[in-house]
Copies of this chain bind each other. A is one copy, B any other.
Amino acid sequence: MITQLNTDRTLNSKAPAAQPSPVLEYLQQLHTEFAPVKDGKVATYIPELAKANPDWFGISLVTTNGTSYEVGDSRQQFTIQSISKPFVYGLALEDHGRPHVISKVGMEPTGDAFNSISLEPGTGRPRNPMINAGAIATSSLVVGKTAQGRLRRVVEMMSRYAGRDLSLDNEVYRSESETGHRNRAIGHMLRNFDILTTDPIPSVELYFKQCSVSVTAHDLAVMAATLANRGVNPITKQQAIRGEYVESVLSVMGSCGMYDYAGEWIYTIGMPAKSGVAGGIIAVLPGQLGVAVFSPPLDARGNSVRGIKVCDALSRHCDLHILNRPNPGETAIRLKCTGAELSSNRIRTPEESQVLHQGGSRIHLYQLQGNLHFATAETIVHDVMSNLDGIQHLILDFKKVLTVNESACRLLHEVLLKFAALDRIILFTHADHLPLLRRYMKVKLGTRYSELFRSVPENDLALEWSENRIIESSLPTRKDDRPVTRGHYELFKNFSANDLIAIAPLLQRRTYQQGETIINAGDDADELYFLARGGVSVFVPLEGGGRKRLATFTRGMVFGEMAVIDRAPRSAMIVADTEVTCDVLSTANFDGLGTTHPELKIKLLENLCLVLCRRLRMVNRKLSVFD
Q: Which residues of A contact B (CB under 8 A)?
A: 9-12, 14-16, 19, 21-23, 25-26, 63-65, 67, 106-111, 127-128, 228-230, 234, 246-248, 250-252, 254-256, 260, 262-264, 266-267, 270, 272, 285-289, 317-331, 334, 369-371, 373-375, 378-379, 381-382, 385-389, 402-403, 405-407, 410-411, 414-415, 418, 422, 548, 550, 562, 564-566, 594, 598-599, 601-602, 605-606, 608-610, 612-613, 615-616, 619-620, 622-623, 626-627
Contacts and interface: CB of A to CB of B under 8 A. Distances in A.
A414 B623 CA distance: 34
B565 A386 contact: no
A403 B64 CA distance: 21
A82 B442 CA distance: 46
Contact of A327 (B21, B287, B326, B610): B287
Given A326-B403, A388-B16, A407-B319, A255 B109 contact: yes
Contact of A623 (B374, B594, B622): B622
Number of copies: 2
Contacts of A21: 381-382, 385
B602 A326 contact: no
A270 B255 contact: no
B379 A109 contact: no
A254 B255 CA distance: 9
Contacts of A378: 23, 63, 67, 289
Contacts of A548: 627
Contacts of A411: 22-23, 26
Nearest to A371: B326
Contacts of A379: 63, 65, 67
Contacts of A270: 247, 251
Given A65-B330, A328-B371, 13 more contacts: A9-B382, A15-B385, A19-B418, A22-B381, A107-B264, A108-B111, A108-B262, A252-B267, A254-B254, A319-B373, A602-B602, A616-B619, A619-B623
A136 B5 CA distance: 51
A325 B609 contact: no
B266 A254 contact: yes
A327 B64 contact: yes
Nearest to A324: B247
B324 A286 contact: yes
A285 B324 CA distance: 10
A100 to B, nearest CB: 15
Contact of A246 (B323, B418, B627): B323
Nearest to A249: B323
B229 A327 contact: yes
A613 to B, nearest CB: 5
Contact of A601 (B289, B370, B602): B602
Nearest to A391: B15
Nearest to A562: B613
B389 A107 contact: no
A436 to B, nearest CB: 12
B23 A610 contact: no
A325 B402 CA distance: 13
Contacts of A251: 266-267, 270, 321, 323
A565 B606 contact: yes
A243 to B, nearest CB: 8
Contacts of A67: 378-379, 382
Contacts of A63: 375, 378-379, 382
Nearest to A615: B616
B108 A263 contact: yes
Contacts of A287: 325-328, 375
A331 B370 contact: yes
Nearest to A367: B626
A84 B363 CA distance: 48
B16 A286 contact: no
B386 A16 contact: yes
22 contacts: A22-B414, A22-B415, A23-B382, A108-B264, A230-B324, A234-B327, A251-B321, A255-B255, A287-B325, A288-B328, A288-B374, A317-B407, A319-B406, A331-B331, A334-B334, A550-B620, A562-B613, A565-B609, A594-B598, A598-B601, A612-B616, A616-B619
A322 B247 CA distance: 8
A602 B599 contact: no
A200 to B, nearest CB: 25
A402 B263 contact: no
B247 A610 contact: no
Contacts of A331: 331, 369-370, 402
Contacts of A65: 327, 329-330, 379, 382
Contacts of A110: 111
- Which one of A22, A322, A565 has the greatest number of beta carbons of chain B within 10 Å? A22
B389 A14 contact: yes
